[in-house]
Structure 1
């Protein structure tokens, strides 16, 4: 019987505790679901608050392909209009925008509409959920199976600046920090100026620059958006993005007490200067510009050195043992074909399995004060065709690029041909036209 008062006391204590517990619960606008909904609405309102839209430097694959300038106008709670420096008047675009390998046509419009949505998945995420050529070109597998340029189309929203002029993002796939910056009315022609800057600088070299008491050779890979920095036989490729003034490195290059952050084009377009104006570097264009034309190289007996012929034999042997056995026609096309970017490619005959060109996008540039020299780099595989010959041709193409830069000279036995010879190794050469 004595247990009844004790039990009733325990029940009373439990009731008091439960009341206190409920008193600590959030209420009204403090509920997590309410806070999340308010956060989503705040971001949605911020996105739509800029009549001119927002600028974004998209950084695919952590910067390996440089940065691409985009602008975005969020016209409703689910619709967005985008523009890209890559698709401006004077440029070209794939006839079928979801298929980069299709024939090109001139850009007739520079704005492209699509949709977006905001969600909360461990943080607010901004997802562009229908295809927009300005953005999804950099994540479309048609450029390279399976990851393309490894560009983001979903972003985590990290924060908004106090003045609401900057929205800090992080790529959901790459984890790369990026940011949306509020546009002003004076930014309307910014993308066209960036496009014009690329047209002006692609394929050009610069006079040497001095950093940390050391001299470096510079060349601009305009399509790869990389600045080649060479010294003592070593090369570093520094990713950049275009600006209306010139180029800006994604990360500063530090040498001793000096730092290179950007280069600005002069008014006469004959030179570029460092932002502090202390160094002025003349621009230079060599005689062979494969960002605007193409050549064919012949990797056959009598037309190529033994070093190159050994690589062609290796490629053929590899392909013969591949899942798609076949052989190559080693007439390499090199430079700007009917695509939006220059490339390198050879023809693979794999019978009923597959017969087509196995292509890889490449980029080319000049070497300062060397009119007959040509420097090159690789960018990314071109579409599904690469899948069938990747094991054989990856090594072959990598070897060709590794021997760069090349010097071109006329074939003394037949003026129809030019001889590509590696500057570093004269025993590596091939004839072309």
Structure 2
């Protein structure tokens, strides 16, 4: 009897499947053939641009700005990927059918992988894409629009009319002119805005009437574009990005005049000066002391809460936050000194040394820095993203001091010569002048830490 049920079910399934596709296209119009033709056409289109394509990847979290990429595809499987970070890296790509046509960068490529798969690597938290779904192709074949599978953001590829390195050189020239700088006040929408440029995070720090906010941006050969709502998908919180008074800031022009760059307001009527800080930590680094007597009590207390208090005079030891870290060894402490700024490798971060009974390691967090309009002695400090496996192991120890350091930003640096005739620098919070620490002068990357003197 069971055999009859099985045969009946099989017959019903066959009849149902025939009914399901009874009205479907046949021959060259059937779905598999149409998609195959679409994939082949896209292979040919992507490979047809002799200079390749340019596009701006916008992180999924919408915390940060966009990164310029260039892609030079062949019409088979290979692609050269370059970006603001460096020259071309060759890897493979595929086009496939998965809920539409999907572009996948399917082998390791450090340029796009730096943003797309950050697992305890440089840019943890940027949430970019290595898989994208085709949305549309312009009638003239000069633009191809994709949507990131992970981020849901648009990536618009535009056909290049020059080599990728030439295009990216123009972008980087503008970026470098503004990186870590401030602008003289911008008058827009009946308000006056002070603007600082975070180059690593690609954000404008805009202050109007004492209230500050961040605007995500990307750099172009012509200047800076504020990422607008139509640059991302509809569910992103970008409705009022760029609002200054009664108007919306969408771009700033950057033009070279001789050896210098000038910034123009959107209407071209205002010229904004580019301002620098004397303490530019996007180009140099400092050593900071958090020892008692060298730093204010609040910073000393944060380090005490991290390292704990040893037993003394009959009192039991109080364990610190560092004891909650992964693979903690008894007796491990976080250094009461740190260095901050541009490292020998070219990154900008703050680093503390972790002293364990059997080892020593540097644990870091990436930071971004920018000048403040009208005061070359001030510096904005902003968290960017965590870095590396050492941070993963020591995040309980690092998080409190880094959070507090950034919370007290901006800082004002004060320089004087002490009674012994030695240069002395104090870095104090603008919001809370009683919060401070002693630092070294700004040293160039490559200077050994023991040569960076704090007086």
C-alpha contact 1:140 1:148 (8 A) present in aligned 2: no
Distance 1:297 1:152, change over 3 A: same
Q: Structure 1 stretch 414-423 or stretch 154-163: which is displaced more?
A: 414-423
Which of 111, 123, 128 is the matching residue for 1:134? 111
Distance 1:86 1:373 in 2: 28
Which of 414, 420, 435 is the matching residue for 1:428? 435
Superimposed CA distance per residue, residues 208-228 of structure 1 (whole angstroms, 9 cap, x where no aligned partner): 112322222111111211111
Distance 1:29 1:308, change over 3 A: same
User: Which residue in 2 is equivalent to 1:6?
Assistant: none
User: Which residue in 1 is equivalent to 2:255?
Assistant: 266
User: Which residue in 2 is equivalent to 1:177?
Assistant: 154
Describe how 1:390-409 pairs up with structure 2 within 5 A: 390-409=395-414
Q: Is it true that 1:373 corresponds to 2:372 in the alignment?
A: no
Q: TM-score, normalised by structure 2?
A: 0.81
Which of 266, 272, 284 is the matching residue for 1:293? 284
Measured on the aligned residues, the alpha-carbon RMSD in Å equals 2.3
Describe how 1:331-342 pairs up with structure 2 within 5 A: 331-342=337-348
Distance 1:385 1:186, change over 3 A: closer
Distance 1:407 1:117 in 2: 52
Distance 1:18 1:404, change over 3 A: closer
Superimposed CA distance per residue, residues 4-56 of structure 1 (whole angstroms, 9 cap, x where no aligned partner): xxxxxxxxxxxxx9999886342102212112212211221221121221111
User: Which residue in 2 is equivalent to 1:44?
Assistant: 43
Distance 2:246 2:134 in 1: 35
Q: Is it true that 1:344 corresponds to 2:350 in the alignment?
A: yes
Superimposed CA distance per residue, residues 118-147 of structure 1 (whole angstroms, 9 cap, x where no aligned partner): 111112110011122221121343664895
Distance 2:43 2:23 in 1: 31
Distance 2:432 2:181 in 1: 23
Q: Is it true that 1:363 corresponds to 2:359 in the alignment?
A: no
Q: TM-score, normalised by structure 1?
A: 0.85
Distance 1:186 1:22, change over 3 A: closer
C-alpha contact 1:144 1:380 (8 A) present in aligned 2: no
Distance 2:161 2:200 in 1: 28
Distance 1:226 1:165 in 2: 29
C-alpha contact 2:45 2:141 (8 A) present in aligned 1: yes
Query: Which segments of 5 or more consecutive residues in structure 2 lack a partner in the other structure?
Result: 1-15, 229-240, 308-319, 441-455
Distance 1:81 1:123 in 2: 24
Q: Report how many residues are paired.
A: 394
What's the secondary structure of 1:41's corresponding residue? helix
C-alpha contact 1:63 1:250 (8 A) present in aligned 2: no
C-alpha contact 1:324 1:350 (8 A) present in aligned 2: no
Distance 1:362 1:22, change over 3 A: closer
Describe how 1:85-234 pairs up with structure 2 within 5 A: 85-87=84-86, 110-141=87-118, 144=121, 147-185=124-162, 189-234=166-211
User: Which residue in 2 is equivalent to 1:324?
Assistant: 327
Runs of 4 or more above 4 Å deviation: 17-23, 145-148, 411-414
Distance 2:149 2:346 in 1: 28
Distance 1:390 1:225 in 2: 25
Query: Which segments of 5 or more consecutive residues in structure 1 lack a partner in the other structure?
Result: 1-16, 88-109
Distance 2:398 2:290 in 1: 13
Distance 2:17 2:256 in 1: 75
Q: Structure 1 stretch 244-253 or stretch 51-60: which is displaced more?
A: 244-253
Distance 2:89 2:178 in 1: 26
Structure 1 residue 66 displacement after superposition: 1.2
Structure 1 residue 148 displacement after superposition: 4.9
Distance 1:419 1:158, change over 3 A: same
C-alpha contact 2:177 2:261 (8 A) present in aligned 1: no
Distance 2:60 2:399 in 1: 20
